[in-house]
Chain A
Amino acid sequence: GAGVSQSPSNKVTEKGKDVELRCDPISGHTALYWYRQSLGQGLEFLIYFQGNSAPDKSGLPSDRFSAERTGGSVSTLTIQRTQQEDSAVYLCASSAIPGQGDNYEQYFGPGTRLTVT
């Protein structure tokens, strides 16, 4: 079946502009995660959704970052007033309902490469 998709694949924006990044999780996956990966770095957790609610948004670096999820499916990560330090690859992942068989796996999308000039 279809995997996790993200759009756009690349985004170049000017400093100070707002950007929206989209994630389409695997159908039926209730958990959705956003991560940030800076060049040559590891995965930095941003926010976790279970259904439409976000019980853990502890990784959002500032109030310029927000995310929402609607219909228990698509999620949008919004960065307002972008800064050059926001340049990174933003990865989305989804997983099925925890506790049911081998469904702890997180399946990642290809990421959105954001460049702030």
Chain B
Amino acid sequence: QQQVKQSPQSLIVQKGGISIINCAYENTAFDYFPWYQQFPGKGPALLIAIRPDVSEKKEGRFTISFNKSAKQFSLHIMDSQPGDSATYFCAAPTSGTYKYIFGTGTRLKVLA
């Protein structure tokens, strides 16, 4: 069964530091890779996504880096803030039905 491997499982970063979360995927039907952010008690919300016709996409403090040949992509959070403390999920599309396989999540805590 197709998998998306996400690491680390948890991450603690000082305020102002850089948070890096990595994901590796298997074969996909189409190229669109989103990251979701989930706060406790809430559903996941789309944070940023990339189409791999580019190797990097930046939105504010959030950047996705994509390595198509290695089938890896990562989320970088620059100048991490306590408000960024949440669980982050990467996702990769599977074949056929536009269904995503989600990573297992990274629980990020940014210390004030």
Residues on A facing B (Cβ under 8 Å): 4, 31, 33, 35, 40-43, 45, 48, 50, 55-56, 91, 93, 95, 98, 104-111
Contact = CB atoms under 8 A, between A and B. Distances in A.
B95 to A, nearest CB: 11
Contacts, number: 55
Given A104-B32, A105-B49, A109-B43, A45 B103 contact: no
A108 B43 contact: yes
A115 B102 CA distance: 24
B44 A42 contact: no
28 contacts: A4-B43, A33-B99, A40-B107, A41-B105, A42-B6, A42-B103, A43-B89, A45-B99, A48-B97, A55-B97, A56-B97, A56-B99, A91-B43, A93-B43, A98-B98, A104-B49, A104-B93, A104-B98, A105-B46, A105-B49, A106-B46, A106-B100, A107-B46, A108-B45, A109-B43, A110-B41, A111-B42, A111-B43
Contacts of B45: 108
B14 to A, nearest CB: 23
A105 B104 contact: no
Nearest to B32: A104
B90 to A, nearest CB: 10
B34 A43 contact: no
A42 B3 CA distance: 12
Contacts of A40: 107
Nearest to B98: A98
A110 B97 contact: no
B42 A45 contact: no
Contact of B42 (A41, A55, A95, A110): A110
Nearest to B97: A56
Interface in B37-54: 41-46, 49
A45 B6 CA distance: 17
Contacts of A107: 46
Given A40-B107, A41-B104, 16 more contacts: A33-B99, A42-B89, A42-B104, A43-B105, A45-B99, A50-B97, A95-B98, A104-B30, A104-B49, A104-B93, A105-B34, A106-B46, A108-B44, A109-B43, A110-B42, A110-B43
